[in-house]
Amino acid sequence: MTEQLDAPASSGPPAAYFPAVGDSIVVGIVDVGEYQQRDYDNNEPKFWPDGGKVMDKVVTGLVVSTTGSTAAGSEKANGPVNPGDLVTFWCEGGKFFTYRDALKASGGVNVGDVMLWKREADEAPSNPRHNPRKVYTARIRRPEAKDGDLVERCTAKRRELHEQRLDQPEPVAASTPADEPF
């Protein structure tokens, strides 16, 4: 049985962070929602010229495995990420297109689907004053027998996450899933 996803509240787990080329993470999808982007200079909500909100996706996942130096947090503040932890993927800019393409290739996403994110080789910036552009790939697939009870654990985490947004500040980690999800 699949459960259609709903939009999460603004609070949630730390972001997945990929400091080095080749870093990757595999998660069971717990939730997908939309958020309005903010301007980096003044922190005000962003709007298109026609007045529409600039919206992007945020994906919450239950960590199955990681490679390389993948962490939770950001460049300025990050820490280890382990199987069973919850992480988020803020899909804006190039990450929005990466997620969109993976979503299109999979035909949609359900709670418990398995998602892989990987940092590929950086691309040279179009402006020499800017940093190189980080490139990511993503794939989404339906859960298989080798994933064990991943769908049930993701469903339980999703319920906890929605309850917790009303009651508590931090998520509780889940049990370790099966190896080699892809």
9 pLDDT band (50/70/90 cuts)?
very low
- Within a domain: 182: no
Question: How many domains would you assign to the chain?
Answer: 1
Q: Which residues contact 85 (CB under 8 A, 6 or more apart)?
A: 13, 62, 63, 72, 173
- Within a domain: 77: yes
- Within a domain: 172: no
Is the full-model pTM beyond 0.85? no
Residue 35: give the domain boundaries.
16-167
- Within a domain: 6: no
- Within a domain: 174: no
- Within a domain: 11: no
- Within a domain: 81: yes
Question: Residues 16-39: what's their mean pLDDT?
Answer: 92
What's the pLDDT tens digit per position in 70-103?
A: 999 888 888 899 999 999 998 888 888 999 999 9
- Within a domain: 1: no
The whole-number pLDDT of residue 165 equals: 57
Which two structure tokens, joined as six digits, stand for 170?
Answer: 């931090």
What's the pLDDT tens digit per position in 30-44?
A: 999 888 888 878 888
Our CA angle for 179, 162, 67, nearest 5°, is 25
